[in-house]
């Protein structure tokens, strides 16, 4: 019997979002790492690195945040970027009500900026009805990297 892991549901949700946004992946390859996929679409080739958190931290004023750790992953992400791969880091920000979950997409350049600050853990958050996620880079929410909520693959 083949078991289904929690990660399968979250990574499957991301792949479903690709189809629903019209990217029509024609080839999806996954070697040994279940969170890294090479995807060929009608718009080009992408390497997708995915992480998920199943629950948000609830803050004041309808603010939700999720923390993602990259302690063992940052070297391979950096290597893929240096090799010129079209890398996207997709963070699935889960909620207890699954249909309230969100997807945040960072480019390789955005991840390099974070890693250049020696940050290997990021907290990404969003206030209800805002059009951007915020990634804390020091100095509070006002001094944050902003990531559009409506991007998928760039």
| pLDDT tens per residue across span 117-144 | 888 889 999 888 888 999 988 766 677 8
Find, among 147, 5, 154, 4, the residue nearest to 68 by Cα. 147
Based on the structure, what is the number of domains in the chain? 1
Backbone angles phi, psi at 19, to 5 degrees: -60, -45
pLDDT category of residue 150 using cuts at 50, 70 and 90: confident
Please state the pTM of the whole predicted model.
0.86
- Is the pLDDT assigned to residue 56 strictly greater than 90? no
Domain that holds residue 98: 6-148
- Min mean pLDDT across 16-30, 75-89, 99-113, 128-142 is at 16-30
Mean pLDDT of the chain: 83
Residue 154 domain flag: no
CB proximity list for 32: less than 8 A, separation 6 or greater = none
In this structure, what CATH number is given to the domain that contains residue 140?
A: 3.40.1350.10
Residue 97 domain flag: yes
What's the mean pLDDT in 3-28?
A: 75
- Is the pLDDT assigned to residue 53 strictly greater than 70? yes
- In the chain, how long is the greatest CA-to-CA distance? 50
CB proximity list for 130: less than 8 A, separation 6 or greater = 149
Residue 153 domain flag: no
Residue 143 domain flag: yes
Distance in angstroms (rounded) separating the CA atoms of residues 21 and 104: 14
Residue 1 domain flag: no
Q: How far is CA 55 from the centre of its chain?
A: 15
- Is the pLDDT assigned to residue 55 strictly greater than 80? yes
Distance in angstroms (rounded) separating the CA atoms of residues 113 and 130: 23
- Is the pLDDT assigned to residue 66 strictly greater than 90? yes
Residue 117 domain flag: yes
Residue 80 domain flag: yes
CB proximity list for 57: less than 8 A, separation 6 or greater = 64, 65, 66, 67
Beta strand 44-53 pairing with 87-93: parallel
């Amino acid at each position: 019997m083949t078991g289904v892991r929690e990660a399968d549901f979250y990574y499957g949700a991301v792949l479903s979002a690709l189809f629903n946004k019209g990217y029509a992946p024609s080839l999806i390859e996954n070697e040994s790492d279940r969170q890294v996929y090479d995807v060929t679409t009608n718009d080009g080739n992408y390497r997708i690195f995915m992480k998920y958190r199943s629950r948000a931290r609830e803050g004041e004023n309808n603010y939700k945040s999720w923390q993602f750790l990259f302690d063992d992953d940052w070297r391979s992400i950096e290597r893929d970027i240096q090799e010129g791969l079209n890398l996207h880091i997709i963070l699935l920000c889960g909620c207890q009500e699954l249909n309230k979950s969100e997807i945040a997409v960072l480019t390789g350049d955005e991840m390099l900026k974070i890693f250049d600050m020696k940050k290997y853990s990021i907290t990404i958050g969003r206030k209800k009805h805002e059009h951007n996620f915020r990634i804390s880079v020091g100095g509070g929410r006002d001094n944050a990297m902003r990531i559009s909520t409506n991007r998928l693959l760039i």
